[in-house]
Amino acid sequence: MANALHTFEENFRKTVQAQHAFAFWKGRVSLYALLRALDIGSGHEVILPGYTCVMDVNPVTYVGARPVYVDIEPHTYNIDINLLRTSITDKTKLILAQHTYGYPCDMDPILELARQKDIPVVEDCCLALGSLYKGQLCGTMGLAAYWSFQWNKPFTTGIGGMATTSDPDLANRLQSLTATELQPPSARAAAMLSAQRLVYRTCIYPRTTALATNLFRWLTRKGIVIGSSATCEFQPKMPDGFFRGMSTAQARAGLRQLRRLDSILAHRRDMARFYDELLPQAGFQPSTIPSWMEPTLVRYPLRVADKQRALAEAPRHFIELGSWFESPLHPEETPLQAYGYEPGMCPIAEQACRDVVNLPTHRRANRKTAERTVAFVQQFGR
């Protein structure tokens, strides 16, 4: 077990140009470990965009800190830096820089602001493996970064995550924390996850994704399979057994994925180029992103006029269409007020939740997939 895990941690940290890496059962567990290692707790505030997954908010609540939501800018869906400036208080102890969909945040002003205020920055790279900011890899600019290997991320170990840092003091604190508190996954959970990876490789294609996703969510609610998010995680209270490490099987799957990483990322960039070419021909506005940004998109975000109808009709046409984000704290069943979010806090993000669907970029999608998808979404154009 130790050999596979150690090898995966070593290979991954080299891939993302970090000095230290720590593997976990899920990506959100890696964020929790970072918060603990940074001594963030009761009375502290953590700033993050109000356009994220609630599973990224949970670790903040688990350590007793208060999440502070900042609205996004409308083109890259990343945190609005002008609003970030006015959101910092004496209680702010961390800024989470989420690279949404794989679009890098504008890190220079974020890091300069953080330096002035003496606040650490942790990069949320769960959607941004391989993305570049001014030629620099996402995950190498903040004090630390965390990554997710869940089913629909840039590459997958089924579920899984990693925390990386090049700061020796933080690495020592992470090492001490994991050595004393991290629980191993159960043999049953590891075996179930391995079986699910086999089913995923065999059965999930663009034409089947919508139906398979609905079935998988139902099985997860029944406790028959291991989902990325259990029902008990839709509340700001840490469930039993949350702080778990990565299994040997996950690590081995990760090593296999790393060997193919260059082709995986190249394919995602190719898919984005296909959409950049096809969508203007279908009447959509071309994407407007800064020239300093070289994203590797986990999904291609697109604003449509009738998101709910597009999502409802996609399965009948065997079209894979994602719904990130359904809510400022995705998914839509999140009890927002339990997490301190009030409607109207982040109006630009809330509008994006009403508008944005996601087009597939993964390796089982291709140029033909892009053409079929664009032809389908054309009827829902802006």
Enclosing domain of residue 324? 260-380
- Can you tell me the distance from the alpha carbon of 72 to that of 353, in angstroms, rounded to the nearest whole number? 12
What does DSSP assign to residue 154? S
For residues 165-177, give the mean pLDDT: 98
Residue 209 lies in a domain: no
Residue 351 has a pLDDT of 98
Residue 191 has a pLDDT of 75
Of the pLDDT bands very low, low, confident and very high (cuts 50, 70, 90), residue 228 is: low
User: Cα-Cα-Cα-Cα dihedral of 359, 249, 218, 206, to 10°?
Assistant: 30
Mean pLDDT across the chain, nearest whole number? 92
Of the pLDDT bands very low, low, confident and very high (cuts 50, 70, 90), residue 155 is: confident
Residue 223 pLDDT more than 70? no
Residue 259 pLDDT more than 70? yes
Residue 72 lies in a domain: no
CA dist 173 → 22, 112, 317 (Å): 11, 25, 51
- Can you tell me the distance from the alpha carbon of 254 to that of 256, in angstroms, rounded to the nearest whole number? 5
Dihedral of CA 5/266/75/85: which sign? Answer: positive
Percent of the chain beyond pLDDT 90?
Answer: 82
Residue 301 lies in a domain: yes
Residue 235 has a pLDDT of 87
Lowest-confidence region among 171-175, 240-244, 273-277, 286-290:
286-290
Residue 291 lies in a domain: yes
Residue 195 has a pLDDT of 72
Of the pLDDT bands very low, low, confident and very high (cuts 50, 70, 90), residue 158 is: confident
pLDDT in tens, 294-321: 999 999 999 999 999 999 999 999 999 9
Helix (H, G, I), strand (E, B) or coil at 155: coil
What does DSSP assign to residue 233? G
For residues 222-250, give the mean pLDDT: 80
Element of type H or E holding 94: strand 92-98
Residue 325 lies in a domain: yes
Lowest-confidence region among 199-208, 220-229, 369-378:
220-229
Residue 200 has a pLDDT of 62
Residue 176 pLDDT more than 90? yes
CATH number (domain holding residue 315):
3.90.1150.10
Residue 107 has a pLDDT of 98
Residue 332 lies in a domain: yes
Of the pLDDT bands very low, low, confident and very high (cuts 50, 70, 90), residue 193 is: confident
Residue 116 pLDDT more than 80? yes
pLDDT in tens, 71-85: 999 999 999 999 999
Token reading at 8: 């995966």
pLDDT in tens, 82-108: 999 999 999 999 999 999 999 999 999
Residue 197 pLDDT more than 70? no
What are the backbone dihedrals phi and psi of residue 88, each rounded to the nearest 5 degrees, phi first? -80, 135
What does DSSP assign to residue 285? P
For residues 350-357, give the mean pLDDT: 98
**Tally of domains in the chain:** 1
The span from the first CA to the last CA of the chain, in angstroms, equals: 51
Burial 158-190 (b: 16+ CB within 10 A, else e): bbbbbbbbbbeebbebbeebbeeebeebeeebb
CA dist 295 → 94, 139, 143, 251 (Å): 24, 13, 21, 26
